[in-house]
């Protein structure tokens, strides 16, 4: 760990307002999804430990943002941006903008944000490095025949996040249902559909902190398991993540640290650190896994900008690893500052 003096650092907490993108979302889910709430909590936590922090909404006109940072005298940016200009695909642009302003910022840079937002591209990178990930096909139109994949399969939008577009109906058992679902995803989400072999065993996720440098090597937090308490659920769907009123919300529950044998813990740690190296991760991230019927682990995805609200998986894993929420927030800031202007 680099000894780094955080005292007096002026921190701009930057978030993207999701008001527009949440317009179609049920009111009861909006609060848990709203990054503004998160930005305020983080700003307050930084203020409590004596850091002058203020939160900023990502505006339509970025020139005004550059000016606002300058008048605030920002030394660093706590980057919580997920969808600048209401586009998840512009998530990397926020980090790139901060680099061009030569301001140190928290979390991952544009490259992993861009690559991991594209599920097919990220899986190709994983495979190229020999990391196990479920086999897949990418479709921009409904295929004549879905060759080469075994059933069951899962059909997802290729460039979404937060389980958008993922329900129990995403899991398909035959070719007819696969085609119907591919058509649905392409039409509803206006993007390609990725079809993956369904790996339906236990589900885990592992958070990683660090910059992959000699001073700040990667270190994992205790693995968590998403425990499926009821056999009727097969996937961590949109509802199970965000809708407390939906039965799956209580029936798919995270448990951290996961109750797993040491060998499985060691393998999860090894694969997570390998993912961090392959994507050049920086600051913090979370890797999602599932096992097949033989207990073999597969990487489902790498999340370079995971939720760090107080009740999110990453904060839970930090607590299990002996880091309070405030200590986690400060460590993420320290890692960002240790990288300096990028």
Ligand X SMILES: Nc1ncnc2c1ncn2[C@@H]1O[C@H](COP(=O)(O)OP(=O)(O)O)[C@@H](O)[C@H]1O
Residues that bind Mg ion (CB under 5 A): 288
Cβ neighbours around 41 below 10 Å, total: 17
Q: Are 25 and 40 in contact (CB under 8 A)?
A: no
- Where on the chain is the footprint of ligand X (CB under 6 A)? 134, 154, 156, 160-164, 166, 196, 198-200, 203, 235-236, 288, 290, 300-301
Retrieve residue 136's tokens: 């897949």
CB nearer to ligand X: give 82 or 288.
288
Retrieve residue 276's tokens: 């961090």
CB nearer to ligand X: give 236 or 276.
236
Retrieve residue 121's tokens: 């591209």
Name 321's bridge partners: none
Look up tokens 């529950």; give the residue. 253
Name 290's bridge partners: 203, 298
CB nearer to Mg ion: give 13 or 113.
113
* b/e map 129-157, b = 16+ CB within 10 Å: eebebbebbbbeebeeebeebeebbbbbb
| Residue 239 partner contact from ligand X, Mg ion, none using kind-dependent CB cut-offs of 5 to 8 Å | none
| Residue 290 partner contact from Mg ion, ligand X, none using kind-dependent CB cut-offs of 5 to 8 Å | ligand X
CB nearer to Mg ion: give 288 or 307.
288
CB of 240 to ligand X, least distance (A): 8
- The answer, yes or no, to whether the previous bond of 173 is cis (omega within 30 of 0) is no
CB of 141 to ligand X, least distance (A): 21
Which residues, other chains included, contact 22 with Cβ-Cβ below 8 Å and sequence gap of 6+? 29, 30, 33, 34
CB nearer to ligand X: give 76 or 122.
122
């Amino acid at each position: 760990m680099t000894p780094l003096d955080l005292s007096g650092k002026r921190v701009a907490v930057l978030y993207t307002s999701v008001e527009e993108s949440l317009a179609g979302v049920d009111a009861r889910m909006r609060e848990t999804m709203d990054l503004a709430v998160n930005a305020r909590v983080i700003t307050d936590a930084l203020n409590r430990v004596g850091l002058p922090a203020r939160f900023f909404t990502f505006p339509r006109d970025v020139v005004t943002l550059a000016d606002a940072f300058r008048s605030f005298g920002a030394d660093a940016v706590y980057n919580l941006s997920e969808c600048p200009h209401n586009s998840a695909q512009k998530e990397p642009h926020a980090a790139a903008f901060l680099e061009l302003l030569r301001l140190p910022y928290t979390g991952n840079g544009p490259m992993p944000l861009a690559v991991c937002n594209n599920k097919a591209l990220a899986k190709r990178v994983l495979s190229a490095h020999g990391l196990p990930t479920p086999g897949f096909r990418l479709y921009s139109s409904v295929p004549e025949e879905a060759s080469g994949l075994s059933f069951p399969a899962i059909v997802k939008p290729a460039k979404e996040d937060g389980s958008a577009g993922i329900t129990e109906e995403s899991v398909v058992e035959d070719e007819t249902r696969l085609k119907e679902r591919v058509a649905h995803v392409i039409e509803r989400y206006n993007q390609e559909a990725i079809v993956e072999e369904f790996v339906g065993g236990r589900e885990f996720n592992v958070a990683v902190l660090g910059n992959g440098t000699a001073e700040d090597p990667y270190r994992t937090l205790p693995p968590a398991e998403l425990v499926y308490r009821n056999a009727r659920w097969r996937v961590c769907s949109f509802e199970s993540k965000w809708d407390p009123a939906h039965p799956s919300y209580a029936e798919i529950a995270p448990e951290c640290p996961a109750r797993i044998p040491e060998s499985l813990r060691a393998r999860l740690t090894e694969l997570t650190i390998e993912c961090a190296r392959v994507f050049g991760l920086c600051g913090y991230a979370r890797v999602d896994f599932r096992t097949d019927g033989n207990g073999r682990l597969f990487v489902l995805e790498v999340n370079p900008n995971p939720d760090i609200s107080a009740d999110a998986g990453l904060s839970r894993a930090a607590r299990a690893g002996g880091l309070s929420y405030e200590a986690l927030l400060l460590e993420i800031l320290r890692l960002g500052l240790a990288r300096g202007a990028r």
